[in-house]
Structure 1
Amino acid sequence: MKASDLNLKESLNFDPTNGKITLGNSRMVLFGVEAFGELYQELLNIGDLPAARVVMRRFGAANGRERARTVKQEFQPADKMEWLAFGPTLHTWEGVGLPKLASLEYDGASTFNLVVEFRHSYLAEEFLRKIGPASEPVCWQLAGYIGGYCSEVFGLNLFCRETTCIAKGDPCCTFICKPQDEWL
């Protein structure tokens, strides 16, 4: 299956008898984004900004890796580029926002540099609603997701950083994903 053929309405299995929604063998949960605004607020209340960033990034990375595995199993993309394309397609269908691949450099081995421009990030919008303007990018969960998803697809140890963010007044959220050792 191609990412462009995905219709999440048809791919999700709603089982109200058992209180479950599944995508293949992966259980999904539907909830309001307002909970993320509360989660951000609570993480900041009990810890600090660096701790909140680490927790959300790790959560996102685990989610990204799992979603990549589910996509491979359920939709059997023809190649890595099609597998990659499912990531932003799912985010669009899930209401996470509107990601657009701005650029990708990949040589099939170790060279990897991906740039994603993200409009309508629910995380940036909820941060603004609940906490107010940010002084640095705040879509930590999305950065983790992108890094985790791409790491699974390409078999590389990738790390993603958000460089611009709607929550700090930028026109869009921008994410750069490349091998982790290149960030050091």
Structure 2
Amino acid sequence: MKATDFNMQQSLQFMPQQGLLKLGDSRVIVMGTEAMGALYQELFNVGDLIATQVVMRRFGEANGRERARMVKAAMQPDDQMEWLSFGPTLHAWEGLGLPKLAALEHDAATKKFRLLVEFKGSYLAEQYMRVMGAANEPVCWQLAGYIAGYCSEIFGMDMHCRETKCVAKGDPHCEFDTRPRGEWL
């Protein structure tokens, strides 16, 4: 299946008699975005900025890896680029925001990789501003982790993603830059 042919309405399996909702073989849930805002606030209440970043990034990375595996198994994309294109398609369908590929450089032979994504309507930036107010730095850590995990799974490289622009700090859109972890850290 191609990402452009994906229709989440047709792909979800509603099983209310069992209390389940599935996408492929993966159980999914529907949750209001306000809960994520409350999670941000609680993580800050019990920890600090660094702890909140680490937890949200790790949560996002685990989700991105799982989602990439589900896409490969259920959608059977033809190649890595098609597999990659399911990421933004799913984000849009899931209501997380509207990602747009800004740049992609990939050379498997030299292990060069760079993915730049512009992201409009980030629910995380929206919820952060709702509960915490304006930010001084990017705050969509869960999305950065998701992108890193998703790309790591597809390309078989340990990726790291940094959010370089964020609506929560006044930028016109959020922007994510993904590269092999060794280039960032």
Do Structure 1 and Structure 2 share a fold, with TM-score over 0.5? yes
- Alpha-carbon distance in 2 for matches of 1:64, 1:77: 16
Structure 1 distance, partners of 2:112, 2:182, is: 12
Query: How many residues are aligned here?
Result: 184
Partner of 2:148: 147
Can you list the C-alpha shifts for 1:117-171, whole angstroms capped at 9, x where unaligned? 0000000000011110000000000000000000000011100010100000000
Query: For residue 139 of structure 1, what is the amino acid of its counterpart?
Result: C
Aligned to 2:54: 54
Corresponding residue for residue 117 of structure 2: 116
Alpha-carbon distance, 1:17 to partner = 0.3
What are the Cα deviations for residues 100-131 of structure 1, in whole angstroms up to 9, with x where unaligned?
00000001231000000000000000001111
SS in 1 for 2:136: coil
Q: Distance in 2 between matches of 1:99 and 1:111?
A: 22
Structure 2 CA distance for aligned equivalents of residues 101 and 21 of structure 1: 29
In 2, Cα distance between equivalents of 1:32 and 1:24: 22
What root-mean-square deviation, in Å, do the aligned CA atoms of Structure 1 and Structure 2 show?
0.5
Secondary structure of the 2:164 match is: strand
What is the TM-score of this pair, normalised by structure 2? 0.99
Between the two proteins, what is the percent identity of the paired residues? 64
The residue correspondences of 1:157-176 to structure 2 (distance < 5 A) are 157-176=158-177
The C-alpha deviation readout for 1:19-66, integer Å capped at 9, x for no partner, is 110011100000100001000000000000000000000000000000
Structure 2, unpaired ranges of 5+: none
Q: Secondary structure at the match of 2:117?
A: strand
List aligned pairs for 1:1-184, cutoff 5 A. 1-109=1-109, 110-184=111-185
SS at match of 1:18: coil
* 2:27 partner letter: R
Partners of 1:149 and 1:24 in 2: how far apart? Answer: 16
Which secondary structure state, in structure 1, belongs to the residue aligned with residue 154 of structure 2? helix
- Aligned equivalents of 1:23, 1:36: Cα separation in 2: 21
Q: Distance in 2 between matches of 1:120 and 1:103?
A: 19
Cα distance in 1 between the residues matched to 2:182 and 2:96: 28
Cα offset, 1:6, TM superposition: 0.3
CA distance in 1, matches of 2:173, 2:24: 32
Q: Which runs of 4+ in 1 moved over 4 A?
A: none
Query: Whole-Å Cα distance in 2 between the matches of residues 8 and 77 of structure 1?
Result: 16
Give distance in 1, aligned partners of 2:144 and 2:24.
Answer: 25
Letter of the 1:53 counterpart: Q
TM normalised by structure 1 equals: 0.99
Stretches of structure 1 that go unaligned for 5 or more consecutive residues are none
